[in-house]
Amino acid sequence: MSALVDRWRARLPGTALCAVIALAATFVSSAHGGPQFLYALLLGMALHPFSQEPRAAAGIDFCMKPLLRLGVALLGARIAADQVIGLGWQTAVMVVIAVVSTIGVGVWLARLLRLPSSFGLLSGGATAICGASAALAISAVLPRRPDHDRSTLLVVVGVSTLSTVAMLLYPLLAAAIGLTPAQTGVFLGASIHDVAQVVGAAHIVGAGADGPAVIVKLSRVALLTLVVLAIGIGVRAQMVVGATDTRRPPLLPGFLIAFLALVALNSAGLVPAGWQPAISGISRGCLVMAIAALGLKTSVSALREAGWRPLALMTAEAAWIAALTLALVVAAR
């Protein structure tokens, strides 16, 4: 018991630092608008010197690993099978095509831009599924390269920024084309990276867009486990063939098994509706603290070394999924 108490006491300073950054990011987002995740990243990066303090190390690592996994797992409580089934087969097929093709385009363009294929998987998966949350989940099953944390941070910064731009521009684009509110909601849910930005864009459009937007977006989130499983299988196969290092990541991490279990419980009606706002709030709080920790661990000078190619890749991925889903929505009118 004393060892457990000592372990939690060692985590307290770093965890408290991440919590303060998360609260500050939440306040700025609430007061001035903009993405909570991006503010947490930028504030964490500004306070990077604190990550060199030995007393903070254990808590920062706790937020980047167990707390992150808890946040991703709790996302499952927002998804129910009947929501996905209610989309209809055409919308479901569109979502699958958009997700798979965006990841494929990400890997192809990464090679074209002389970036690691793993970066294309990470950025493509984040763009295709649910932004920063997907980036953190996919990062957990990718091999630990020397630039692993920096790549994850680049993707989180990129998708958070592009998602905010999309939140502002896509409703204007849909109005210019003449989409109905329901069609606009499908387009927004199928193309914008982060759930919060999907909701924000739907509110810009007005009544009739928010329901389809959130349901389509959650159907993309529901594909997270399948995508991570497929990536995990691929990574393990490459390590078997290659393998100077016999340590292999788990085929499906425990937090994604918990994610699936919560989806199943919610689908069976065993997660009370009154609990869902609290669960969603806890999930988002965990993820914001995890991203604050990621920002703390990364210096601005390390980001500068990345160059223009990662941003070009993520911009192209965002343009691809937007153009593809918009074309499919217009074709289905």
Question: What pLDDT digit, counting tens, does each position of 273-308 carry?
Answer: 889 889 989 988 998 898 888 788 776 666 666 678
The terminus-to-terminus CA distance of the chain in angstroms comes to 63
Ranges of each domain in the chain: 2-331
Q: Is pTM, for the whole model, over 0.85?
A: no
What is the rounded average pLDDT of the residues 55-61? 91
Structure tokens at 232: 């995990």
Average pLDDT, the chain: 85
> How many H helices and E strands in the chain?
17, 0
Neighbour count for residue 88 (Cβ, 10 Å):
10
Torsion of CA 29, 33, 39, 42, to 10 degrees: -140
pLDDT at 246 over 50: no
Closest CA to 198 of 215, 182, 183, 223: 215
Question: What pLDDT digit, counting tens, does each position of 67-98 carry?
Answer: 878 888 888 887 787 877 777 788 889 999 99
User: 189 or 302: whose pLDDT is higher?
Assistant: 189
